[in-house]
Amino acid sequence: MTENTGGNPTPGWYANPADTTQLRWWDGLAWTDQVQPIISEQAPGEVGGVPAVYTGPPIIVVTTPDLPGYRVLDVHGEVFGITVRARNAFSNAGASFRTLFGGEVKGYTKLLSDSRLEAVERLRFSAHQVGGNAVLAMRFDTGQIADLMNEVAAYGTAVTVERIEP
């Protein structure tokens, strides 16, 4: 938490000490009953919901094996975020026609882009759950399931880092 001039943390959303999957509102003097999930998820059975969004404490994600300007204090191990998505039957039919004439299939481009973003959001949540504040050496892996769905995984090493003072 950030300290204000009165000695108490400033009001804001912080990791809930009682439940690491939630944020809890600190009003500047005490914890309130207001909580929200750290990551949004589709409800069971929901179709066409928005991609998951991580809203917890900042998690730095880099593709490099180190983070310039930071010192690694602790290594928490491998973490990953995964999503499986499918286009609807009408989109698949439209894409089939696109193969006749060539060109970008924008629906699939958006599907893959959204899938990558969602996988990284889930990766951040996974890093938070193990106590990290950064992910090093992040990579993507992708594949098809039954020629109907696309799976995207983002993975890397969760670490705790601190900024090196210049």
All structural domains of the chain = 1-37 (no CATH), 52-163 (3.30.110.70)
The radius of gyration of the chain's CA atoms, rounded to the nearest angstrom, is 20
Quote the pLDDT of residue 2: 44
Task: Please give the single-letter amino acid code of residue 94.
Answer: G
pTM of the model: 0.71
Q: What is the pLDDT of residues 41-85, one digit of tens each?
A: 666 556 566 778 888 889 999 999 999 999 999 999 999 999 988
